[in-house]
């Protein structure tokens, strides 16, 4: 008999908990982010501080974010992370809401370069703010401190005949055109006219003759570094790549070139279908606290917008990646460059 | 009689079903995709979206653009070289296998085929670290005294692709050659010996001609596998080892130009089909004369 009563009580409690959680689920903030942007301990702290529950869905590619947000016309998520090059596409498709930065007290405390969002290309449209930057990494230059002296300051060193056959470059036409355009002093490396394209192409043919190989994954670059005489690496994977190399005992250092380093910048944005705008704002503000931002950099190796990190010094010039004028054209020209004997 | 007659329609229906299935699988999984590819090669791309209006533009571009044909020829030459190297290395190995007796023969054959069980990518990674400037090959050559200092002769260039592909594809050459050698009747060899031919004469006039079908199919195997490979050139080819497979691959990845990629694949498919036909023709005509 006692057993039956206990069992019944247990069932009642179970039902109660079930109802509570389902009620909580209905009001939970729905976050879509890359792995590393919404760690469980932060979510726990956020819920403890604000009383707002959070459901996080992780994604693995830019295309996946687009598919998820566009597929539901923004109704399935409240807040999501997207980079500046992608953001304009979402604004154009009317999938994101403007953000009132007066509701984000922590945004006033961010690093100087992120304070005026109208100066961060891609974050605003028609004077309205759509993205709050929180995480970035530059595509800098890794150099072997034993082999490259003095320390390089510009990507132009990749063309230096002294390092012929010791340069590792990245196998991607888009980025290679952009960074070479920067070394040539062009203002907008993402929109090149025909004449500039031809000049960049000629430079890239010269670059090709100076490099050992073009790599695609960070892993691959590391393996090539270990088995060959490599002095310079164009670091598509930025800080992560440096740290991995240092871990295996390589004497390498990282520098953002003086002509400007290409860099990606991820933003928190509020979707069109947001259910509770205030909760979304609280989440973004929470992510901009010194504690969370600092931990983000510690854990991922990426830079953050609040605390100084090794991704970029305060004087480093960063050029946020943007959509290029004609990806197909750049890819075709990149093939031509590779086919040039 | 009548009973057998009543069974017939059902049997016929069953056999019809089996026939349809037997044809349906290759049609659905091989012919239809190939046909789709062929159709796509007549489309074009504008601003990142495919335009479904028929055009010959892709083929015109392939034949007129100065970059594609040279790379195409170079790749064919490369793959023919790979096939030749594989045959030259595989023939002695296969011949040696046939001289072994009983269990040893198959144990050794299995050992030679073991690399096929390994992942392709892992093998390329391994070979790449062997070929590297600080890799095993260079270290060994310097240690023996053949080289004064590590050489870049087989680091990230066409030679590297040639070596890597040959190494990867040798098992595919050994097997057909071994099978054709094994099929040569021992009586023929003994008769030749009885008639006073030397070992070399027997080999040149009996063994070699009779094994040529195996050589032909081995060569076409290796050639076809080599020419379709983009991963090896991508990973060990570096800057000078630019092959047709890499161009093709880039059309589907970064360029997002599927129609042009399809046209390039059609060009590649024609070469592959020719290679298979030649290999088979050569193999069969010799085979029937035995």
* Model confidence pLDDT, tens digit, residues A86-135: 898 899 889 999 999 999 999 999 999 999 998 888 899 999 999 999 99
Same domain, A152 and A293: no
pLDDT per residue, tens digit, chain B (290 aa), is 445 445 578 888 889 999 999 999 989 998 999 999 899 999 998 876 788 889 999 999 999 988 899 999 999 999 999 999 999 999 999 999 998 988 899 999 999 889 889 898 899 989 988 888 888 888 898 888 888 888 888 888 899 999 999 999 999 999 999 999 999 998 998 899 899 888 899 899 989 999 999 999 999 999 999 999 999 998 898 888 889 999 998 888 666 788 999 999 999 999 999 999 998 888 765 544 44
In chain A, residues with a C-beta closer than 8 Å to the C-beta of B70 are 339
Q: Do residue B156 and residue A213 have CB atoms under 8 angstroms apart?
A: yes
Domains contained in chain A, number:
2
Q: Do residue A214 and residue B134 have CB atoms under 8 angstroms apart?
A: no
Q: What is the pLDDT of residue A19?
A: 47
Q: Do residue B250 and residue A331 have CB atoms under 8 angstroms apart?
A: yes
Q: What is the CATH number of the domain that holds A93?
A: 3.40.190.10
Closest alpha carbon within chain B to A210: B239
Same domain, A126 and A270: yes
Q: Which domain holds residue A149?
A: 141-255+322-339
Same domain, A107 and A55: yes
Establish if A230 belongs to a structural domain: yes
Closest alpha carbon within chain A to B61: A332
Rounded mean pLDDT, A1-16: 56
Q: Do residue B48 and residue A334 have CB atoms under 8 angstroms apart?
A: no
Q: What is the pLDDT of residue B239?
A: 81
Establish if A57 belongs to a structural domain: yes
Task: Choose the mutation target among B71, B132, B151 for the interface with A, i.e. most A CBs under 10 Å.
Answer: B132
* Dihedral-angle region of residue B68 (phi above 0 means left; psi in -120 to 50 means alpha; beta otherwise): alpha
Nearest CB neighbour to B134, from listed A165, A171, A227: A227
- Characterize the bridge pairing of strands A232-234 and A167-170: parallel
**C-beta separation of B255 from A174 below 8 A:** no
Residue A277 pLDDT grade (very low, low, confident, very high; cuts 50, 70, 90): very high
Same domain, A104 and A168: no
Residue B30 corresponds to which tokens in the numbers above? Answer: 């091989």
Q: What is the pLDDT of residue A14?
A: 55
Task: Choose the mutation target among A144, A227, A229, A249 for the interface with B, i.e. most B CBs under 10 Å.
Answer: A227
Q: What is the pLDDT of residue B161?
A: 94
Residue A304 pLDDT grade (very low, low, confident, very high; cuts 50, 70, 90): very high
Q: Where are the alpha helices (DSSP H) in chain B?
A: 2-26, 32-40, 57-64, 68-99, 102-113, 120-131, 136-144, 158-182, 186-194, 199-202, 208-227, 231-236, 244-252, 258-288
A333 pLDDT more than 60: yes
Q: Do residue A336 and residue B135 have CB atoms under 8 angstroms apart?
A: no
Q: Coil, strand, or helix at residue A60? A: coil
**C-beta separation of A86 from A130 below 8 A:** no
**C-beta separation of A239 from A146 below 8 A:** no
Task: Choose the mutation target among A222, A236, A331, A335 for the interface with B, i.e. most B CBs under 10 Å.
Answer: A335
**C-beta separation of B242 from B198 below 8 A:** no
ipTM for the whole complex: 0.76
Q: How far apart are CA A271 and CA A73, in angstroms?
A: 9
Q: What pLDDT digit, counting tens, does each position of A21-35 carry?
A: 444 455 799 999 998
**C-beta separation of B62 from B271 below 8 A:** no
**C-beta separation of B257 from B45 below 8 A:** yes
Q: Which of A227, A318, A114, A14 is nearest to B150 (CA)?
A: A227
Angle in degrees, 0-180, between the axes of helices A173-183 and A327-339, rounded to the nearest 10: 90
Same domain, A110 and A228: no
- The whole-angstrom distance between B247's CA and the closest CA on chain A is 7
Q: How far apart are CA B107 and CA A31, in angstroms?
A: 58
Establish if A12 belongs to a structural domain: no
In chain B, residues with a C-beta closer than 8 Å to the C-beta of A165 are 152
Q: How far apart are CA A81 and CA A132, in angstroms?
A: 9
Virtual torsion, Cα A314, A319, A320, A321, nearest 10 deg: -150
Q: What is the pLDDT of residue A26?
A: 55
**C-beta separation of A182 from A260 below 8 A:** yes
- The whole-angstrom distance between B255's CA and the closest CA on chain A is 5
Closest alpha carbon within chain B to A325: B47
Identify the burial level of A29 via C-beta atoms within 10 angstroms of its C-beta, where 0-12 means exposed, 13-18 middle and 19 or more buried: buried
In total, the C-beta contacts within 8 angstroms joining chain A to chain B are: 77
Closest alpha carbon within chain B to A208: B239
Same domain, A329 and A188: yes
Q: Coil, strand, or helix at residue A226? A: helix
Q: Coil, strand, or helix at residue B134? A: coil
Q: Coil, strand, or helix at residue A221? A: helix
**C-beta separation of A274 from A96 below 8 A:** no
Same domain, A107 and A244: no
Same domain, A165 and A293: no
Share of chain A above pLDDT 70, in %: 92
Same domain, A224 and A155: yes
Over the range B43-66, which residues count as b (16 or more CB within 10 Å of their CB) and which as e?
bbbeeeeeeeeeeeebbebbeeee
Tell me the domains of chain B and their CATH numbers. 57-288 (1.10.3720.10)
Task: Choose the mutation target among B47, B72, B254 for the interface with A, i.e. most A CBs under 10 Å.
Answer: B254
Q: Please provide residue B185's backbone torsions phi and psi, each rounded to the nearest 5 degrees.
A: -65, 135
Same domain, A239 and A171: yes
In chain B, residues with a C-beta closer than 8 Å to the C-beta of A171 are 234
List residues bridging with A141 in a β-sheet.
Answer: A234, A255
- The whole-angstrom distance between B237's CA and the closest CA on chain A is 8
Establish if A285 belongs to a structural domain: yes
Q: What is the DSSP letter of B151?
A: -
Same domain, A277 and A129: yes
Establish if A104 belongs to a structural domain: yes
Q: What pLDDT digit, counting tens, does each position of A63-87 carry?
A: 788 888 988 899 999 999 999 988 9
Establish if A128 belongs to a structural domain: yes
Identify the burial level of A69 via C-beta atoms within 10 angstroms of its C-beta, where 0-12 means exposed, 13-18 middle and 19 or more buried: buried
Q: What pLDDT digit, counting tens, does each position of A191-229 carry?
A: 999 999 999 999 999 999 999 999 988 888 998 999 899
Q: Do residue B48 and residue A328 have CB atoms under 8 angstroms apart?
A: yes
Q: Do residue A223 and residue B125 have CB atoms under 8 angstroms apart?
A: yes
Q: Do residue B256 and residue A227 have CB atoms under 8 angstroms apart?
A: no
- The whole-angstrom distance between A79's CA and the closest CA on chain B is 28
* Dihedral-angle region of residue B174 (phi above 0 means left; psi in -120 to 50 means alpha; beta otherwise): alpha
Cis upstream peptide for A299 (omega within 30°): no
Nearest CB neighbour to B254, from listed A172, A213, A214: A172
Residue A153 corresponds to which tokens in the numbers above? Answer: 């300051």
Q: Do residue B155 and residue A336 have CB atoms under 8 angstroms apart?
A: no
DSSP letter string over B49-103?
EEE-S--SHHHHHHHHSTTHHHHHHHHHHHHHHHHHHHHHHHHHHHHHHHHS-HH
Closest alpha carbon within chain A to B48: A328
Establish if A14 belongs to a structural domain: no
Q: How far apart are CA A163 and CA A179, in angstroms?
A: 19
Establish if A90 belongs to a structural domain: yes
A9 pLDDT more than 70: no
A291 pLDDT more than 90: yes
Share of chain A above pLDDT 90, in %: 69
Q: In sequence order, which residues have a C-beta less than 8 Å from that of residue B1 and are 6 or more positions away?
A: none
Angle in degrees, 0-180, between the axes of helices B208-227 and B68-99, rounded to the nearest 10: 140
Q: What is the pLDDT of residue B11?
A: 85
Same domain, A89 and A234: no
Q: Do residue B239 and residue A338 have CB atoms under 8 angstroms apart?
A: yes
Q: Do residue A212 and residue B238 have CB atoms under 8 angstroms apart?
A: yes
Closest alpha carbon within chain A to B74: A339
- The whole-angstrom distance between B142's CA and the closest CA on chain A is 15
């Amino acid at each position: 008999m006692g057993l039956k009563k206990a069992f019944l009580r247990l069932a009642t409690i179970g039902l109660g908990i079930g109802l509570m959680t389902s009620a909580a689920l209905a009001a939970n903030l729905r976050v879509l982010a890359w792995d590393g942007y919404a760690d469980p301990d932060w979510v726990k702290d956020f819920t403890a501080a604000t009383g707002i529950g959070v459901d996080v869905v992780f994604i693995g590619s830019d295309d996946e974010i687009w598919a998820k947000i566009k597929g539901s016309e923004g109704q399935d998520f409240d807040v999501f992370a997207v980079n500046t090059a992608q953001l304009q596409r979402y604004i154009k498709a009317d999938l994101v809401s403007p953000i009132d930065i007066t509701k984000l007290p922590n945004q006033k405390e961010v690093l100087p370069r992120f304070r005026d969002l109208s100066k961060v290309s891609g974050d605003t449209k028609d004077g309205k703010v759509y993205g709050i930057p929180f995480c970035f990494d530059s595509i800098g230059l890794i150099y072997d401190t034993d082999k490259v002296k003095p320390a390089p300051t510009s990507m132009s060193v990749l063309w230096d005949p002294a390092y012929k056959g010791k340069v590792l470059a990245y196998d991607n036409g888009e980025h290679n055109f952009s960074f070479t355009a920067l070394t040539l002093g062009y203002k907008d490396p993402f929109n090149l006219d025909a004449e500039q394209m031809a000049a960049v192409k000629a430079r890239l043919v010269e670059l090709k003759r100076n490099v050992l190989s073009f790599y695609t994954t960070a892993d691959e670059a590391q393996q090539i570094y270990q088995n060959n005489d490599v002095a310079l690496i164009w670091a598509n994977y930025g800080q992560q790549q440096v740290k991995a190399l240092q871990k295996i005992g390589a004497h390498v250092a990282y520098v953002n070139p003086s002509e400007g380093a290409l860099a990606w910048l991820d933003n928190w944005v509020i979707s069109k279908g947001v259910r509770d705008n205030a909760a979304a704002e609280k989440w973004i503000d929470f992510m901009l606290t010194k504690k969370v931002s600092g931990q983000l950099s510690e854990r991922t190796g990426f830079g953050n917008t609040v605390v100084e990190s090794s991704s970029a010094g305060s004087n480093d010039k960063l050029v946020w990646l943007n959509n290029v004028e004609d990806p197909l054209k750049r890819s075709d020209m990149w093939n031509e460059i590779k086919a040039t004997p | 009689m009548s009973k057998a007659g009543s069974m017939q329609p059902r049997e016929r229906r069953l056999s019809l079903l089996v026939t349809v299935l037997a044809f349906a699988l290759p049609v659905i999984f091989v012919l239809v995709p190939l046909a789709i590819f062929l159709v796509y090669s007549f489309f074009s791309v504008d601003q990142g979206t495919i335009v479904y209006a028929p055009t010959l533009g892709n083929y015109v571009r392939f034949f007129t653009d100065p970059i594609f044909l040279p790379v195409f020829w170079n790749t064919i030459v490369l793959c023919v070289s790979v096939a030749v190297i594989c045959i030259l290395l595989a023939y002695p190995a296969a011949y040696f296998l046939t001289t072994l007796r009983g269990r040893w023969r198959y144990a050794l054959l299995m050992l030679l085929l073991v690399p096929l069980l390994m992942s392709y990518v892992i093998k390329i990674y391994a070979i790449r670290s062997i070929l590297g400037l600080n890799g095993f090959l260079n270290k060994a050559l310097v240690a023996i005294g053949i080289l004064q200092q590590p050489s870049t002769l087989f680091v990230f260039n066409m030679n590297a692709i040639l070596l890597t592909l040959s190494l990867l594809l040798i098992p595919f050459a050994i097997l057909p050659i071994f099978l054709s050698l094994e099929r040569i009747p021992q009586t023929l060899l003994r008769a030749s010996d009885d008639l006073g031919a030397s070992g070399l004469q027997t080999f040149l006039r009996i063994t070699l001609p009779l094994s040529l079908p195996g050589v032909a199919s081995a060569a076409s195997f290796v050639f076809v596998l080599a020419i379709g490979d983009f991963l090896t050139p991508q990973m060990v080819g570096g800057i000078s080892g630019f092959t047709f497979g890499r161009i093709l691959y880039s059309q589907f990845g970064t360029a997002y130009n599927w129609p042009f990629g399809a046209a390039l694949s059609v060009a590649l498919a024609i070469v592959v089909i020719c290679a298979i036909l030649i290999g088979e023709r050569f193999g069969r005509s010799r085979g029937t004369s035995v």
